[in-house]
Amino acid sequence: MTIVRHSYFMTIRHVRELLRQPWWIAVTLVQPVIWLLLFGALFKNVINIPGFHGTSYIEFLAPGVVVMTALFASGWGGMPLIDDIERGVTDRFLVSPVKRTALISGRLVHSSLTIAIQSVIIVVLALIDGAGFPGGFGGVVVMIVVAVMLGAAFGAISNGLALLARREETLIAIMNFVLLPLTFLSSAFMQQNLIPTWMQHVADFNPVNWAVVAGRSAVSANPDWGLIASRAGFLLALLLVCLAFATRAFRTYQRSV
Amino acid sequence: METETQNQLQDTAGEEVMIEADALVKTYGKGEKAVRALDGLSFRARRGTIFALLGPNGAGKSTAVKVLTTLTRPDEGKAAVAGTDVMGSPDRVRRTIGVVSQGTGVDIQATGRENLRLQGQLYGMRGRVLEQRATDLLELFGLADAADRIARGYSGGMRRRLDIAMALVHDPWVLFLDEPTTGLDPEVRADMWEQIAALAAEQDKTVLLTTHYLEEADQLAARVAIVDRGKVVAEGTPEELKSELRGDAVYVELDEPAADGAVRPALEPIAGVREVVVDGRALRARAEDGGRAVPSVLQALEARGIAVSSVRVARPSLDDVYLRYAGRTFQEAESEDTEVKK
């Protein structure tokens, strides 16, 4: 109960912070739109490749962009925590009775809300651009949920790394190294059976691909619920591991201060 | 040594002990790079008083505060606040204490009132009680006009006052102030002293203050523990510490550098004059009664043909106390420390 209340207080704090930075809201909202339009135009002719199923690249791409947006938004999620550490805010919280988990979950709830809003914008824009999403409203909701799960997992990793490294440069280096390759080692932009064989194998173990595959199937005409459930299960397991890591990182942080 | 942790401790004078540190040891890093920040630090602070840990930067004061406020754990030793074991029941300790850490803990993206509100919520306060408490504290610390402005625009002094207001929101018994006036203007510092003094005097709060300003400890604290290299090297009231030095300091500036051997025999026969040290043009001595000793000192120097350009007599300062117990002056300790850090 206390954890829920404390998480709520922290979420309010982060949301308020975001609302006070209109230019940042603008960037947050415009970024996914740019991904969708840019990649949509760049890879438009993908549908002409023999073996590609479907007639609309935008419809194929949208789940990929939803997941990519979730991944990037969360991957950088640890940066504001480093700010808090440098400003002494984190230490102030740590000597109060606040639940440690709430310090992480407040940030994750906040970024999940952002991801959900960004996803809705992408979906609406894709619809305008000709996507059909035969999976319907329910399918879209499932797609957003798996994207949020992936985002929360990477957000937890990013926050945990922020506590361990305590330097923006380190976090930037790690995330630069990880985020784009993970995106491209998935079927976000290209049907999985059309990418090189070794990449197909790597993609099977890539959490980003779990989210893309599950989300895309959910909005398709014939969702494969078995596949969706298994990938969502993997993502849930990953999320729990990442949360445990982030909470433990507090202990390591407290030993070193 | 008492081992009880759940009941209020009493010291030998029957006073209630609110903060107890017992042989705390804390090392950062491993192997050759290891730094022993606390090396058996012990002290006890009584209820309703201001207790100061005085020492140069890097002496271990902040580490002691971090241990006592549950932020970090010591490698060895015990600590209790308000009778509760700090390592055993950290959450219980957190509810009893308010902490102002070095630097600031203000969220500069939120207003003063929002900072206070969140802080209160974390201690389970809510509704009208919390709003009223926030308003009162903003008023008390002169932040009423700035209450609904974003703290990014606050001056250093305002942020510091907000820090203290936040530490007080849940009306804690014990207040930890880690270098509360570092980096503030002298006038702002004087205001801050008044407010800190009032907390102990009027609200029965026990305050643990760390500082590297000698005047600050002298002015505010009922008792001072001098900390050097992770341990307490001397403890007492500021007056006790100073009187242990027996006598005043006499500083004589010579016209020309003189040899130690030439000056010392001239002055040592004078009754009440001790510890004569000559360093170039500077002559330093201790005297039971500085004012009385000066004429004889001048006479003796004149007799040897040593010209004097100025004489100064000073009551012993905490700086002298520090020199005596740590074996180096405050400034030396500070600069040594900066070199180590580099």
Contacts of B105 in chain A (CB under 8 A): 87-89, 91-92
- Closest by CA to B322, choosing from B64, B66, B59, is B59
**pLDDT: which is higher, A208 or B200:** A208
Contacts of A94 in chain B (CB under 8 A): 70-71
Pair (B177, B52) in one structural domain: yes
B78, part of any domain? yes
The domain that holds B302 is classified in CATH as 3.30.70.2470
Pair (B161, B301) in one structural domain: no
Q: What is the CB neighbour count within 10 angstroms for residue B262? A: 12
Q: Quote the tokens at residue B220.
A: 């505010």
**pLDDT: which is higher, B60 or B246:** B60
* pLDDT band, residue A64 (cuts 50/70/90): very high
Give the burial class of B4: count Cβ atoms within 10 A of its Cβ; 0-12 exposed, 13-18 middle, 19 or more buried.
Answer: exposed
Using only C-alpha atoms, chain B has a radius of gyration, in whole angstroms, of: 24
Question: What pLDDT is recorded for position B323?
Answer: 76
Pair (B117, B137) in one structural domain: yes
**pLDDT: which is higher, B300 or B244:** B300
Pair (B117, B36) in one structural domain: yes
Is the predicted pLDDT of residue B261 greater than 90, yes or no?
no
Q: What is the least distance, in Å, from the CA of B168 to any CA of chain A?
A: 12
Q: Quote the tokens at residue A11.
A: 């979420």
Structural domain range at position B164: 9-236
Pair (B265, B306) in one structural domain: yes
Compare CB distances from A98 to B106, B110, B122 and report the shortest one's residue: B122
Report the alpha-carbon distance of residue B19 to residue B17 in Å, rounded: 6
Pair (B209, B103) in one structural domain: yes
**Helices A100-128 and A57-75 meet at what angle, rounded to 10?**
160
Least confident range of A7-21, A45-59, A200-214: A45-59
Residue pair A66/A144 in contact (Cβ under 8 Å)? The answer is yes
Is the predicted pLDDT of residue B340 greater than 70, yes or no?
no
B337, part of any domain? no
Is the predicted pLDDT of residue A245 greater than 60, yes or no?
yes
Compare CB distances from A88 to B94, B95, B101 and report the shortest one's residue: B101
Contacts of B110 in chain A (CB under 8 A): 13, 16-17
Pair (B117, B193) in one structural domain: yes
Pair (B21, B152) in one structural domain: yes
Mean pLDDT of chain B, nearest integer: 87
**Residues comprising chain B, all counted:** 342
List pLDDT tens digits, range B7-46.
455 665 567 899 999 999 999 988 888 899 999 999 999 9
A17 touches B at CB < 8 Å: yes
Q: What is the least distance, in Å, from the CA of B305 to any CA of chain A?
A: 59
B245 touches A at CB < 8 Å: no
Is the predicted pLDDT of residue B339 greater than 60, yes or no?
no
Quick one: residue B144, left, alpha or beta (phi over 0 = left, psi -120 to 50 = alpha)?
A: alpha
Pair (B168, B93) in one structural domain: yes
Is the predicted pLDDT of residue A22 greater than 60, yes or no?
yes
Residue in chain B lying closest to A89 (CA): B105
Q: Do A13 and B66 touch (CB under 8 A)?
A: no
Compare CB distances from B108 to A87, A96, A256 and report the shortest one's residue: A87
* pLDDT band, residue B107 (cuts 50/70/90): very high
B332 touches A at CB < 8 Å: no
* pLDDT band, residue A244 (cuts 50/70/90): very high
Q: B81: which strand partners?
A: B19, B84
A13 touches B at CB < 8 Å: yes
- Measure Cα distances from B285 to B267, B270, B272 in Å: 9, 12, 10
Question: What pLDDT is recorded for position B14?
Answer: 61
B202, part of any domain? yes
- Average pLDDT on A176-182 reads 94
Q: How many domains does chain B have?
A: 2
List pLDDT tens digits, range B303-336.
888 889 999 888 777 777 777 777 777 777 766 6
Contacts of B94 in chain A (CB under 8 A): 95-97
Estimate to the nearest angstrom the gap between the alpha carbon of B10 and the chain centroid. Answer: 23
Contacts of B91 in chain A (CB under 8 A): 97
Provide, rounded to the nearest whole percent, the portion of chain B with pLDDT above 70: 93
User: Which runs of consecutive H residues, i.e. helices, occur in chain A?
Assistant: 2-19, 22-42, 57-75, 79-86, 89-94, 100-128, 136-165, 168-184, 197-204, 207-218, 225-256
The domain that holds B139 is classified in CATH as 3.40.50.300
ipTM of the complex: 0.89
Structural domain range at position A164: 2-256
List pLDDT tens digits, range B37-88.
999 999 999 999 999 999 888 889 999 999 999 999 999 999 999 999 999 9
Question: What pLDDT is recorded for position A120?
Answer: 95
Contacts of B81 (CB under 8 A, 6+ apart): B18, B19, B20, B68, B93, B96, B97, B174
Pair (B186, B219) in one structural domain: yes
B320, part of any domain? no
What 3-state class would DSSP assign to B310? strand
Is the predicted pLDDT of residue B4 greater than 70, yes or no?
no
Is the predicted pLDDT of residue A239 greater than 70, yes or no?
yes
Q: How many domains does chain A have?
A: 1
Q: Could you give phi then psi for residue A189, rounded to 5 degrees?
A: -110, -20
Pair (B154, B253) in one structural domain: no
**Residues comprising chain A, all counted:** 257
Q: Do B71 and A16 touch (CB under 8 A)?
A: no
Q: Do B114 and A17 touch (CB under 8 A)?
A: no
Is the predicted pLDDT of residue A122 greater than 80, yes or no?
yes
Question: What pLDDT is recorded for position B342?
Answer: 36
Report the alpha-carbon distance of residue A180 to residue A177 in Å, rounded: 7
Contacts of A207 (CB under 8 A, 6+ apart): A150, A153, A182, A234, A235, A238
Question: What pLDDT is recorded for position B12?
Answer: 58
* Site from A7, A12, A18, A96 to mutate, B interface, most B CB atoms within 10 angstroms: A96
Mean pLDDT of chain A, nearest integer: 94
Q: Which of B 266-305 lie inside 8 A of A, CB atoms?
A: none
Give the burial class of B222: count Cβ atoms within 10 A of its Cβ; 0-12 exposed, 13-18 middle, 19 or more buried.
Answer: middle
B342, part of any domain? no
- Average pLDDT on B154-174 reads 94
Residue pair B110/A16 in contact (Cβ under 8 Å)? The answer is yes
A9 touches B at CB < 8 Å: yes
Q: Which residue has the tokens 């949208």?
A: A62
Question: What pLDDT is recorded for position B3?
Answer: 41
Least confident range of A26-30, A201-205, A237-241, B288-292: B288-292
Q: Do B101 and A91 touch (CB under 8 A)?
A: yes
Letter for the amino acid at B115? N
- Average pLDDT on B99-114 reads 94
Strand order in the sheet with B97-100: B97-100, B174-178, B206-211, B50-54, B223-228, B231-236
B159, part of any domain? yes
- Average pLDDT on B283-293 reads 84
Question: What pLDDT is recorded for position A9?
Answer: 97
Question: What pLDDT is recorded for position B33?
Answer: 85
Q: Do A97 and B91 touch (CB under 8 A)?
A: yes
Residue pair A197/A115 in contact (Cβ under 8 Å)? The answer is no
Pair (B262, B202) in one structural domain: no
